[in-house]
Amino acid sequence: MANVIIVGAQWGDEGKGKVVDIYTENANDVARFQGGNNAGHTLVVGNEKTVLHLIPSGILHPGKRCIIGNGVVLDPKIFLQEIEGLKAKGYLKDDSQLVVDGNVHIIMPYHKAIDIAREKASGARKIGTTGRGIGPTYEDKIGRRGIRLNDLVNPQVFARKLKEVLPEKNFMLEKFLGEPALAEEAIIEEYTGYALQLKKYLGCASTLLNQSIREGHNILFEGAQGSLLDVDHGTYPYVTSSSTISGGACTGTGVGPRFMDEIIGISKAYVTRVGEGPFPTELNDAMGEKLQKAGNEFGATTGRPRRTGWFDAVALREAVRTNGMTGLAITKMDVLNDFDTIKVCTAYSYKGELLEDFPRDFEVLRECHPVYEELEGWKSDISTVTEFDQLPEKAVSYLKKIEEITGCPAILVSVGPRRDQTIQVKNPFA
């Protein structure tokens, strides 16, 4: 038996969806533990692409239970649309495959309106959020005025809580942000409709997962976003509003840390970032454009172009440490097929000083410049390679370099978006 946590090791979009889909074969339950529909996890099965925002990426495997843990924030409309989309494709034939914890916080219309209006008002200082209401929903959770799924399915409680909170939200929208106020009746009508449809998925993540553990089953915990977007350990304030690192898997599902066995960080063979914020190895040149084009780097949630840059071992070492990572999955290796040389950042230079650790002070980070080591590219197509020893020597050298400078073994290498374009070096469930 093994319980495995998957986390993004960079700024998101590392290919978590693909890796979770692959690993689901070994698991009985797949659980999301934080974030919301700011996530966009892409799965490619055969030639069919599926993008999931809320439902765990194990859902394409019939018979595997997918659980949305209490740490997630849930937009009911998006969730129901996602279910509909999956059913239309022939998935999720049995509704008991999907469970949502009653303590997930509900994203309300005012959360989305405030998120978007705040970003607009911030101008050049904006965070570049996905505009899905994620931050304002987590603010209300921590501020103890949130509405949870258990509240939503109880009409009296829902109406009471909404009545308490809405005047403050409307004050903020109208008086501070210059946006129209929202009508209570319209919200009640819309959300009562969702509640009726959501009831059948209601459950308790902690009870179900701990029962599963007692029965000797394997659980896969699916992180969203990335370690550098973590609200505590990321590049604050340019982060998301949840604990994206492995510790979040415990608080976000109600499973104790002693049951966690492996922590696998997903990292691209280079780096991307959507939204604003520091990115020391960013390439604002033709090389960056080449990476963006070869990697088709456009957001799965908002369609925004992703910023691109060379692999950053300083940032990755930070993620290895804060997660207690036991292995790395290196994705999108094939994107580097056609590069004469490939750079990896091994340290930062800060005012003439060499830094090997990721600076936790934003003012220092913004003044850091990458120190690179340059490796030769393999200049051949590796997208059909399925065994590690079939990889060209220079691709192996690149992977070895990553392992050496991050101190973490690469246990999976992805060479294309499809399931069959995967080299498994070590099975974390074995």
Active-site residues: which are they?
Answer: 13, 41
Q: CB of 198 within 8 A of CB of 152? A: yes
- Residues forming contacts to ligand IMO in the complex (CB under 6 A) are 8, 11-13, 38-41, 127-130, 132, 134-135, 224-226, 229, 240-241, 274-275, 300
Nearest to 130, CA basis, from 252, 283, 306, 309: 306
Rounded (5°) CA angle 101-19-289: 115
- Interface stretch with ligand GDP, choices 154-162, 327-335, 351-359, 384-392 (CB under 6 A): 327-335
- Interface stretch with ligand GDP, choices 102-110, 118-126, 390-398, 412-420 (CB under 6 A): 412-420
Toward Mg ion, which CB reaches closer, 254 or 275? 275
Phi, psi of 43 (to 5 degrees): -120, 135
Q: CB of 26 within 8 A of CB of 58? A: no
Which of ligand IMO, Mg ion, ligand GDP, none interacts with 67 (beta carbon under 5 to 8 A by kind)? Answer: none
Least distance from Mg ion to the Cβ atom of residue 222, Å: 12
By CB under 6 A, tell whether 58 contacts ligand GDP: no
Full DSSP string of 4-61: EEEEESSSS-SSHHHHHHHHGGG-SEEEE-SB-TT--EEEEETTEEEEESSS-TTTTS
By CB under 6 A, tell whether 414 contacts ligand GDP: yes
**One symbol per residue from 363 to 402: x for binding ligand GDP (CB under 6 A), - otherwise; what is it?**
----------------------------------------
Buried b (16+ CB within 10 A) or exposed e, 316-330: bbbbbbbbebbbbbb
**One symbol per residue from 299 to 318: x for binding ligand GDP (CB under 6 A), - otherwise; what is it?**
-x------------------
Site for ligand GDP in 115-144 (CB under 6 A): none
By CB under 5 A, tell whether 179 contacts Mg ion: no
Least distance from ligand IMO to the Cβ atom of residue 385, Å: 25
The residue whose two tokens read 């209601």 is 202
Nearest to 287, CA basis, from 355, 326, 339: 339
Least distance from ligand GDP to the Cβ atom of residue 374, Å: 23
Toward ligand GDP, which CB reaches closer, 14 or 318? 14
**In the set 300, 314, 328, 410, which binds Mg ion (CB under 5 A)?**
300
Least distance from ligand GDP to the Cβ atom of residue 104, Å: 20
**In the set 3, 9, 13, 385, which binds Mg ion (CB under 5 A)?**
13
By CB under 5 A, tell whether 297 contacts Mg ion: no
Nearest to 325, CA basis, from 3, 5, 1, 2: 5
By CB under 6 A, tell whether 14 contacts ligand GDP: yes
In this structure, what token pair is assigned to residue 328?
Answer: 């790395």
The residue whose two tokens read 């698991």 is 27
Toward ligand GDP, which CB reaches closer, 20 or 198? 20
Whole-number CA gyration radius for the chain: 22
Q: CB of 337 within 8 A of CB of 381? A: yes
Crossing angle, helix 155-171 and helix 184-198, to 10 degrees?
A: 140
**One symbol per residue from 252 to 291: x for binding ligand GDP (CB under 6 A), - otherwise; what is it?**
----------------------------------------
**In the set 92, 417, 423, 428, which binds ligand GDP (CB under 6 A)?**
417
- Interface stretch with ligand GDP, choices 109-117, 142-150, 232-240, 413-421 (CB under 6 A): 413-421
Please tell me the distance from the alpha carbon of residue 377 to that of residue 379, in angstroms, as a whole number.
6
Least distance from Mg ion to the Cβ atom of residue 6, Å: 13
Toward ligand GDP, which CB reaches closer, 42 or 81? 42
3 state SS of 280: coil
Nearest to 132, CA basis, from 166, 92, 105, 150: 105
Kind of pairing between the strands at 41-45 and 48-52: antiparallel
Residue 367: CB atoms within 10 Å: 15
Toward ligand IMO, which CB reaches closer, 139 or 403? 139
Which of ligand IMO, Mg ion, ligand GDP, none interacts with 416 (beta carbon under 5 to 8 A by kind)? Answer: ligand GDP
- Interface stretch with ligand GDP, choices 38-46, 59-67, 114-122, 359-367 (CB under 6 A): 38-46
Full DSSP string of 346-373: EEEEETTEEE-SPPSSHHHHTT-EEEEE
Q: CB of 205 within 8 A of CB of 254? A: yes
Which of ligand GDP, ligand IMO, Mg ion, none interacts with 76 (beta carbon under 5 to 8 A by kind)? Answer: none
Q: CB of 277 within 8 A of CB of 128? A: yes
Residue 168: CB atoms within 10 Å: 12
Interface contacts to ligand GDP, rule CB under 6 A: 8, 12-18, 40-42, 44, 300, 331-332, 334-335, 414-417
Interface contacts to Mg ion, rule CB under 5 A: 13, 40, 300
